[in-house]
Structure 1
Amino acid sequence: MKTLLASFVLWWLLAAAPVPASADDQFKVLVVAVPNRYHHDYTVVAKPRLEQMARQHGFGLDWAWNTAPFDADLSGFDAIVLLNTPGDELRGAQRAALEGFVRAGGGVVAVHRALIFNPPGDWPWFERMIGRAFRIHPMVQTALVRVEDASFPAAFALPSRWIWSDEWYEFGPPLVDGLRTVLSVDERSYDPGRIWPGQVARGMGADHPVAWYHAFDGGRVFVTALGHPPAAYDDADYLAHLYGGIWWAATGRGIDGDAGATDAGD
């Protein structure tokens, strides 16, 4: 029993320890995962999986449970992953730090809850960086996801038609030009109106994006609305989707043409 307990403690310590950066790392990523009311239990699964991803693919990864890194120098990172961490968690100079990071050519990956900003209009730059404004979502349901851009790294490992279960966020019209849809959801495959009493969701119709990317203000931004269920971070397809976006955001590689350019100002 003592041996089993000691093994568990050792595993926990290893899982909790950050992945150290080394001179051999191809790039370095900061993951910011601030727990909130509806998104906290995912971190238990996500942290060891993303650290395993970093070891597998040879990149450096720092993990933060709060926004303190935005009070320090961000120039050592190539990409920042806002993992269920919305922009309203950042205040004052922290917001200016993120803007400066992007304008210097840095990449941002916004995942699920990071797409919701409250109150709307309080930080227009962040909302334009995300590219679309969140409206509402129905209950978690299984649906058919379609690959709209198979040439983007976040879709490389996915089938053209993918069965996935999630919160199907609804959005307003694009806030900037140049958004390129990677994945969409087929609303015929789930019930957009299945929602809690007192709320109304109607869906978006035939054009319902759930992942996209764009060049923004000197940097690169990949956005995925997927990632609500904690079990998502145990799913190989979802992790491949996420890593494809991280790789592109950090390096600009993996796509042809000018879609990965970082000199566009939105």
Structure 2
Amino acid sequence: MKKFNRKINRGLAAFAAFPLLATGLGVAAAAPAASSPAPTSLSVPSASVLAEDYKILVVGKTLGFRHSHIDNTTNTLIELGAENGFTVDVWDPPNDSSGWWGAGSPGQPDLTMDSTPFTSAEDLAQYATIVFVSPVDNTNDMNPDKPRLLDDTELAAFQGYIRGGGGFVGLHAATDTMHTVPWYSELTGGGARFASHPAQQQATMRVESPAHPSTEHLPAAWDRFDEWYNYTQNPREDVHVLITLDESTYSPGGNAMGADHPLAWCHNFEGGRSWYEGAGHTDASWTDPAFRQHVLGGVEWTAGVVEGGGNCVTFGEVDGVVAELDTTTHGDAEAVAGITGHLDDAEAAADAGDHAAALTAIAAAQALVADLSDEAGDTALLVTKLADLTDWQSALDEGGSEVDLAFTAQAQVRDLAGRDYLAVRVANEEDTPVDVTVTTPYGERTFEDVAPGANAYQSFSTRQAGVPAGDVTVTVSAERDGDEVVEEALVPYEGTD
């Protein structure tokens, strides 16, 4: 069986130098001219991508019970930003709301913005992602007359931001706000809202999607002390579940969800990215390195800084892409029907835990995409989503999380004698030989049995002076335990035109 992983990583930091040395696999090239753009580099299987600094918004505004962790969480995100290349704006104004929880909310007056940042989608677009940190607003009685966290104008700005490709991170009681806004509960995930919680206690979290950037560092069974939420409904049908809670390891109290209790999940929603984690009530969570890294992965994935693990794809999402295809042409109708059938088979197999069979069915669907005509619509999006399904199911297949192949790829446009050449180097970091195929707009070359530690290098003539920026596709394959493992990566390069 072939196991296929595809990772697309953009926004990579440029290397200061690109030494192209002679190897047994390619022709040595002269040192790059001073005017040549610096190369970009991609390391696989790491999901991390170095990117330019970006900005996030942290929302802690509270109109109901105020969680003590809000301040600690905010400070943690500021610290993580300083360490990982993002800055933080905070909206957490003091207010005089009162109720059973007491009088008013102190907010974070030393950090908060002076006025609401939710003025328009355009204004919010300065943020790569927006983090809701338990901003409870006391609307869980579903009274539409109660003030909400976001009023109608602010909500419209937020919706426009998400639909424009914005990111959202919900932490802990982010599901206990804006109960009267169905759209918000769909954004946080599957309409699931906070219902109740038992006393704080030790429990086991089980990682269900181990290759996502927010979970790849976690153990399969993660024992923690926290406050464990029960939800109004199970969101699984609409989200990509990352972590479940094992109710046999603690006392879930009323509203227990049973054997299937999602706790952390993510999904692609109306053009944006959403990630939610239900734990994090305790102050100790925010000094726990594993939990901090978990949340950082959610921030970075929703910000579009990292990719991997299937990118929170769901079978329902891919079904939606297929449903948008134009089947007017007879051949397209047949291909779409076949793709739909294979996806149904893949989902049934995945639900049954047979991820190898799911991968086989997904591969069959991928093969039919080539039969679609140009009139069918956005087949490129379908190709991407099918590749995401493959990444996801590969990690769940037996040994699937171990199928990544380690290699480093670099690409750079070089000026040699007045003409531009695209130089590509791929270094095998495995301890066994691999096959490498390099595909560029200017040609393709395959290298067989590249030895451990050796390089595959090719300089492609562009036959022109002035080259636009683009991508090189690097495909690396090897045999692992009788399976052919294939890793594909897109490596961007800077242009000279």
TM-score category, normalised to shorter length: 0.7 to 0.9
Partner Cα separation in structure 2 for residue 190 and residue 256 of structure 1: 29
Higher relative contact order by CA 8 Å / sep ≥ 6: 1 or 2?
A: 1
Q: How does 1:98-137 map to 2 (within 5 A)?
A: 98-117=158-177, 120=179, 122-131=180-189, 132-137=192-197
Q: Does 1:81 align with 2:131?
A: yes
Q: 1:240 aligns with which of 279, 293, 296?
A: 293
Q: CA RMSD in A?
A: 2.5
Which segment drifts farther, 99-108 or 44-53? 44-53
Q: How does 1:249-264 map to 2 (within 5 A)?
A: 249-251=302-304, 253-257=306-310, 259=312
Which segment drifts farther, 212-221 or 85-94? 85-94
DSSP 3-state at the match of 2:76: helix
The code of the aligned residue for 1:123 comes to V
Which segment drifts farther, 47-56 or 256-265? 256-265
Give 1:10's aligned residue: none
Partner Cα separation in structure 2 for residue 74 and residue 247 of structure 1: 17
TM-score, normalising length from structure 2? 0.44
Q: How does 1:9-88 map to 2 (within 5 A)?
A: 25-35=52-62, 38-66=65-93, 68-71=116-119, 73-86=123-136, 88=148
Aligned length: 233
Q: Shift in Å at residue 175 of structure 1?
A: 5.9
The code of the aligned residue for 1:82 comes to F
Q: Shift in Å at residue 142 of structure 1?
A: 0.8
Partner Cα separation in structure 1 for residue 62 and residue 135 of structure 2: 8
Q: Shift in Å at residue 152 of structure 1?
A: 1.2
Residues 65 and 136, structure 2, Cα contact 8 Å, conserved in 1: no
The code of the aligned residue for 1:109 comes to V
Partner Cα separation in structure 1 for residue 77 and residue 311 of structure 2: 29
Larger radius of gyration: 2
Q: Does 1:211 align with 2:264?
A: yes
Residues 86 and 117, structure 1, Cα contact 8 Å, conserved in 2: yes
DSSP 3-state at the match of 1:127: helix
Q: Shift in Å at residue 43 of structure 1?
A: 3.3
Gap regions ≥5 residues in structure 1: 1-23, 194-200
Residues 243 and 265, structure 2, Cα contact 8 Å, conserved in 1: yes
Q: Shift in Å at residue 259 of structure 1?
A: 3.6
For residues 194-231 of structure 1, the C-alpha deviation after alignment (integer angstroms, 9 at most, x for no partner) is xxxxxxx1411110011000011110000111111122
Indicate the structure with greater helix content.
1
DSSP 3-state at the match of 1:185: strand
Q: Shift in Å at residue 172 of structure 1?
A: 3.2
TM-score, normalising length from structure 1? 0.79
- Taking a change above 3 Å as real, the CA distance of residues 52 and 179 of structure 1, as seen in their structure-2 partners, is same
Residues 133 and 173, structure 2, Cα contact 8 Å, conserved in 1: yes
The code of the aligned residue for 1:180 comes to H
Stretches (4+) displaced over 6 A: 261-265
Which segment drifts farther, 128-137 or 41-50? 41-50
DSSP 3-state at the match of 1:70: coil
Q: Shift in Å at residue 26 of structure 1?
A: 3.3
- Taking a change above 3 Å as real, the CA distance of residues 37 and 133 of structure 1, as seen in their structure-2 partners, is closer
The code of the aligned residue for 1:239 comes to R
Q: Shift in Å at residue 63 of structure 1?
A: 1.7
Residues 135 and 177, structure 2, Cα contact 8 Å, conserved in 1: no
Q: 2:209 aligns with which of 131, 149, 152?
A: 149
Which segment drifts farther, 36-45 or 256-265? 256-265
Residues 220 and 252, structure 1, Cα contact 8 Å, conserved in 2: no
The code of the aligned residue for 1:50 comes to L
Indicate the structure with greater strand content.
2
Partner Cα separation in structure 1 for residue 80 and residue 293 of structure 2: 9
- Taking a change above 3 Å as real, the CA distance of residues 39 and 230 of structure 1, as seen in their structure-2 partners, is farther
Which segment drifts farther, 98-107 or 24-33? 24-33
The code of the aligned residue for 1:80 comes to I
- Taking a change above 3 Å as real, the CA distance of residues 117 and 42 of structure 1, as seen in their structure-2 partners, is closer
Residues 110 and 222, structure 1, Cα contact 8 Å, conserved in 2: yes
For residues 98-137 of structure 1, the C-alpha deviation after alignment (integer angstroms, 9 at most, x for no partner) is 100100000100111111135x4x2111011112122211
The code of the aligned residue for 1:142 comes to Q
- Taking a change above 3 Å as real, the CA distance of residues 109 and 164 of structure 1, as seen in their structure-2 partners, is same
Residues 213 and 307, structure 2, Cα contact 8 Å, conserved in 1: yes
